[in-house]
A and B are shown apart, each in its own frame.
Chain A
Amino acid sequence: MQMAIDLYQLYSRINSKTHIAPLVTLRVLFGIIMFFSMVRFWYHGWIEKLYVLPSFHFHYYGFDFVQVPGLWTYGLFVICSISALTVAVGYKYHLSIVLFFLSFTYIELMDMTTYLNHYYFISVLSFILIWLPAHTSLSIDARLNSKIRSLYLPRWNIDVLKIFLAIVYIYAGAAKLNYDWMINAMPLSIWLPTKLDIPILSTFMNTKSVHYLFSWGGAIYDLGIVFLLLYSKTRTLGYFLVVIFHLLTGLLFSIGMFPYVMIVATLIFFSADFHLYLQSFVRKIFNQKIQNISENSQYQETRPISQKFKKLILFSSLFLQIIIPLRFLLYPGNVFWTEQGYRFSWRVMLMEKTGYANFKIVDGKSGKRFYVRNDDFLSSFQEKQMSTQPDFIVQYAHYLGEHFKNQGHQNVEVYVESYVSLNGRKSRPFIDPNVDLMTVADNFNHKYFILPFEK
């Protein structure tokens, strides 16, 4: 009975009306940051280095059809950058955010080598934004079309973003609760002592207690920050910690735009008044006044059914967000070692893993054999990623097998001698060197040929 009332309260809460201002700030700042991060990617020459130059690319399971379109890759980045800008200014918002989501996600799918949690974060966030009416205020769309202007919307439109951020932070925090991170202060004990470019802080970077402080502080931050942000009394403190935490990690590690993305995204927790205050500066610049919008105007879908449809989409994707990071439980072994179910789970800056994989091509009949020079086929970045991740190793082995078959080699078998070191441990053999990798498939089944992590 009590539960029914709670559910009812929850239902009426998420459907009660709230001001759109937080969503608008997010739309504008997200668009601007995305624009700059695309330009930055281009400026660093990474489009060429990471996508255009390598002749082979690693694919996500089921996404083999996503190919690097040669020099058209630059076109993809143009589409992505421009749509980010039009999202920011709210011009043809629906088209823009869909284009942004598709182009950004396509770019990420082109090569698994470049997988980063924060790129995945951006893909998911932009997917969510597709279904939210973030363009009904402070936008060109709203200026051009008075019909869509609106200041209020059902609360779930904002809540869905808060829940998503909560999932990200809490999973990131939970992932830190492991022996290496908490008890050994690894990998921070390896990473921090080399971070000597920061004044004052650098003095403490080799201090063991600082490594523990950072490890524990990071875990507590990730687990608790959402709660600080949720309650108005602790929100300012919480946001202060957000800024400190992300700027500090940005200073210590090369994680690109991620700190700024999070600093902007967490603004969603602030009240509409706060956001209106922020936006008043923008409005002043553009001399735009809030006019002719009645206080009660609420975003009205032309077809009420689509509201339900959107809710269904968003809440089922949040449900997936909760399920996906748990899939590692289905696999035996240490997830840090096997990386089965490692990605898409907010395991951020969590381990130091180094590997080496030496591939042997064998003629199964004659026994004639030779080794492969990886730099003939892979960029150094691809080789680095490949050598520690079993699915990369299988994909690459198959690629090599096909390559040498096409060269006229007979009875091609592919073996790998590989070693991986995790969080400062002595390197250990990684993949069973006696398994012909041509006989195994890269799929979601447990990869039995990963050698055990424990001695």
Chain B
Amino acid sequence: MKKVIGIIFTGILIFIIHSCSSDDGPITMMTMEPAPSFDRKALLTNWADNVIIPRFEAYDKRLDELNSQHNSFLSDTNVSSLKALRNSWLNAYLAWQHVSIFDIGKAEEISLRNFTNIFPVDTAAIFQNISSGNYNLLLPSNFDTQGFGALDYLLFGIGKDDQDIVNILSSVDHKAYLGDIIVRLKEMNQEVLNDWKFNFRNQFIDNSGSSATASTDKIVNDFLFYYEKFFRAGKVGIPAGVFSGSKLSLKVEAPYSGIYSKQLFLEAFGSIENFYNGIGFETGENGIGLDDYLIFVQEQNNFSNINEMILTQWTSAKGKSQDLSNNFRDQIENDNLKMLETYDELQKAVVLLKVDMLQVLNIQVDFVDADGD
């Protein structure tokens, strides 16, 4: 028996000596000196301070402007104040695209995304709410009667032309509803922003471990969920009929204004890339992001360059989308093939993100924190 143990321990010893001294072959760079792991805390700090909080702040400002344009519209209801209101709606909607990803903390708790941008909206239910004057916007049953989609309908689709829309919105009931949904957007974001600034930021950064509930795992899962479900499927796949077999052009984002659907899509695309690359919202500086994390792990293990593949794939998806009409609704109805081609390019990135990236970063795409073996 002693012999067996002897052999085992000699084996281990030889192995350790070998691994510490060898400087060629597959086992290179072997040293017992601790090599620092990727600093997840620095990643989270950059995301919180330079990406997420500034984005929520910018969105907050745009909502303030929307609110004040709405006040102008109330006091002076005409086509020109309607146009000004629409303009501030668009700016706020574009700013929203930057924060929609972050369904975490307070935003998750209050269902910020569901109350802000569920589309298509239920126009019959909106009409019902307005005419009855009896509605509770806090209820999940009212997800699709408020937010930017409802504003799109009210500001662009409720009448046959601009003057008609102004006439309709002049009614007390309509004005009240318009006011309520704008105020609600503002209030929800205020709550989320304050929580990020005064409470959640530190919690988010301190939770820098690697369990399924740690911040990195959670926000990367949120990011992929957003990319797959709300960006790829919501903005392109569903209206193009990928999941139904037939085109559903009314399911594009902001179908009543129409001409902004591509702009909103591209804004969201930019926000996705900037989050991934860790680019500061105000500063524009390229901070620590998933790109750096991937490069760190890839180089250490001689893996293939996933980061580059992801960026290249996104570039080609953007390239495909260049040919699309500003109005996705028109695009789908007239030449859906181009829409489907864009979808395919976005889809290819899903594989790179969900399979290759998650594998290399050891992030579990699994919200059930169950046992493994």
Contact = CB atoms under 8 A, between A and B. Distances in A.
Interface of A: 44, 46, 49-50, 114, 116-118, 183-184, 189-191, 193-197, 202-210, 212-213, 216-217, 220, 224, 227-228, 231, 233-234, 253-258, 348-349, 352-356, 358, 361, 368-373, 375, 379-381, 384, 419-421, 424-427
Contacts of B121: none
Given A354-B358, A426-B356, A349 B372 contact: yes
A206 B104 CA distance: 29
Given A206-B300, A352-B362, A426-B303, 11 more contacts: A193-B37, A196-B37, A206-B34, A209-B19, A212-B30, A234-B1, A354-B359, A355-B355, A370-B245, A373-B243, A384-B365
A218 to B, nearest CB: 12
Contacts of B306: 426
A171 B329 CA distance: 59
B24 interface: no
Contact of A197 (B19, B209, B233, B356): B209
Interface of B: 1, 4-5, 8, 11-12, 15-16, 19-20, 26-27, 29-38, 40, 208-212, 229, 233, 237, 241-245, 297, 300-301, 303-304, 306, 347, 350-352, 354-356, 358-362, 364-373
A257 B372 CA distance: 10
A349 B355 CA distance: 19
Contact of B366 (A208, A217, A233, A384): A384
Smallest CB-CB A-B distances: 8 pairs: A256-B371, A370-B245, A194-B210, A206-B37, A354-B359, A116-B373, A427-B355, A203-B34
Nearest to B221: A380
A202 B209 CA distance: 11
Contacts of B362: 190-191, 193-194, 352
Given A193-B297, A234-B5, A420 B355 contact: yes
Interface centre among A183, A189, A191, A206 (most CB of B within 10 A): A206
Contacts of B359: 190, 352-354, 421, 424, 427
Nearest to B309: A426
A370 B372 CA distance: 34
Contacts of B364: 384
Interface centre among B26, B30, B358, B372 (most CB of A within 10 A): B372
B245 A207 contact: no
Given A191-B362, A370-B241, A354 B12 contact: no
B12 A196 contact: no
B356 A421 contact: yes
Contact of A371 (B37, B242, B301): B242
A354 B354 contact: yes
A183 B26 contact: yes
Given A44-B369, A216-B15, A381-B366, A208 B29 contact: yes
Contacts of B4: 224, 227
Given A209-B31, A424-B303, A46 B373 contact: no
B32 A421 contact: no
A254 B372 contact: yes
A221 to B, nearest CB: 9
B243 A255 contact: no
A231 B303 contact: no
B342 to A, nearest CB: 15
A203 B8 CA distance: 27
A212 B373 contact: no
Contacts of B355: 354-356, 419-421, 427
Contacts of B34: 203-204, 206-207
Contact of A46 (B26, B354, B361, B368): B368
Contact of A427 (B20, B35, B212, B356): B356
Contacts of B369: 44, 254
B241 A208 contact: no
A150 to B, nearest CB: 33
B370 A371 contact: no
9 contacts: A50-B368, A195-B210, A204-B34, A206-B38, A254-B372, A356-B355, A419-B351, A424-B303, A427-B356
Contacts of A195: 210
Contacts of B16: 209, 213
A435 to B, nearest CB: 19
A310 B306 CA distance: 56
Contact of B12 (A217, A234, A256): A217
A220 B372 contact: no
B371 A255 contact: yes
Contact of A372 (B35, B209, B243): B243
A116 B11 CA distance: 31
Nearest to B298: A424
Interface centre among B8, B36, B355 (most CB of A within 10 A): B355
Given A209-B31, A231-B1, A370 B244 contact: yes
Contacts of B11: 220
Given A206-B37, A209-B20, A419-B355, A118 B8 contact: no
A379 B12 contact: no
Contact of B373 (A220, A224, A258): A258
